[in-house]
Structure 1
Amino acid sequence: MTDKPKKEKRPHFVYTLLVQVGRKDGDGLPDGATGGALMLYSSGVDEAEAVREAVAILKQADLAPLDVSGYGTLEERLAEGHDISDDERALMQRALDENSVVVAQLTPFFDEQK
């Protein structure tokens, strides 16, 4: 038996993402909503992986992701002067600890033309 070389475990980071979603049957958005936006924290070795993981989880939850905007890691956001609350930091730490996606906020969109 040959020993496989162990893969070096790359460090994970938590990325802040804003995901716009459209409507889909069973998405859980309020009646009359045309879509929504989710602010979430996603763990990954890089931002591309964090985005892929977030989109996959949202699709499993019957949401229809349309667009993803990345705002960087905690360190990148602090360097840009963002004010990050203790609650937000705790959610980021949870995403890192659980190697998961944590939704911090959901804002439904409504058509104002009615």
Structure 2
Amino acid sequence: MTRKPSKQQVFTLVVEVGRKAGDGLPDDSTGAGLMCYASGVDEAEAVRETVAILKQADMSPLDVTGYGTLDERIEQGHEIDDDERALMTRALLENSVIVAQVTPFFNEG
């Protein structure tokens, strides 16, 4: 019996991270939000891989929000520019996690 190859897809994830020594975030930040594109056969696998890679990078993942695949996002009415599509394609081709944007969080006041 031949095994059917799994179909990798790219998922858009936003990961909230807390502070951890050596995380590379600005000293006065309280954490950050990371926009990631991660490949996986399903969203659960993409989340697991993303969390594992961020932990290896000395980051402290607290929460992950999934926004689905490219097709799912288009169905939801998201506008996706050429740069974002290129990053998604790269994540798929490299079977990797790409951190596309890091937005540090700061306490006000």
Highest CA radius of gyration, 1 or 2?
A: 1
Q: Distance in 1 between matches of 2:43 and 2:22?
A: 28
Query: Alpha-carbon deviation of 1:9?
Result: 1.7
Pair 1:55 & 2:51 matched: yes
Letter in 2 for 1:25: A
Which of residues 96, 107, 110 is equivalent to 2:106? 110
- Aligned-CA RMSD value: 0.9
In structure 2, the residue matched to 1:66 is: 62
The residue correspondences of 1:6-85 to structure 2 (distance < 5 A) are 7-85=3-81
Which of residues 84, 91, 97 is equivalent to 1:95? 91
Q: Where do 4+ consecutive residues of structure 1 move more than 6 Å?
A: none
Pair 1:86 & 2:82 matched: yes
Letter in 1 for 2:67: Y
Query: Alpha-carbon deviation of 1:7?
Result: 3.6
Query: Alpha-carbon deviation of 1:8?
Result: 2.6
